[in-house]
Copies of this chain bind each other. A is one copy, B any other.
Amino acid sequence: MRLDPSRERAILDATQELLSEVGFDRMSIDQIARRASASKATIYRRWPGKEALVADLICNHIKIDVPPPPDTGSMREDLVGAVTGFCEVLRRRHDMIFGLLPSLLTNASLAAALRGNLRRPDVTGTAPLIERARERGEPVGRIDPARLRTVVEALVWHRLLVTGEPLDREFAEEAVDGTLLPLIRSWTGAGV
């Protein structure tokens, strides 16, 4: 008999629940086993430990999808939409991210895997936005979308982890008007 996929699902589901409820540290393998009506051996047969289980969960079994920001016809509104969308993703996964980060910091391989999942190319959806602006004839010069995305991500993560202030609309507008649009203008001007 081969490994039963239904057990894997039950274990991953239980893990996801507990990760949000009590966080990574306070979540024990015994708890997961109990909630999944699984045996600890069944868990350890598939994953070498708690970190690997959670890493697998985050990287391969949870879709962190950013719905593509709507085309509003205005680059500023598109940008606010992109920032807000990314904020929304982090806020929705807030419990899980906060439950997971400890191991991200102590376990390099988990961190690497997690980063791969969190930074999929399109996570902020800023590239199409620039493209649309260009198509509308707005002056956007030669903007590297990767660099723009990095700044968006950096501002949001910084807000979430370092300042701890809320990821609200006010923040999004401030970021767009105070930093992103000036940057785009500067890159555009420099490119001319």
Contacts and interface: CB of A to CB of B under 8 A. Distances in A.
- How many identical subunits does the complex contain? 4
Interface stretch (A71-79, A130-138, A160-168): A160-168
Interface residues of A, number: 39
A155 B151 contact: yes
A159 to B, nearest CB: 8
Interface of A: 23-26, 97-99, 101-102, 104-106, 111-112, 115, 118-119, 144, 147, 150-151, 153-155, 157-158, 161-164, 178-179, 182-183, 185-187, 189-190
Given A99-B105, A151-B179, A154-B158, 8 more contacts: A25-B102, A102-B102, A151-B151, A153-B162, A157-B157, A182-B186, A182-B187, A186-B186
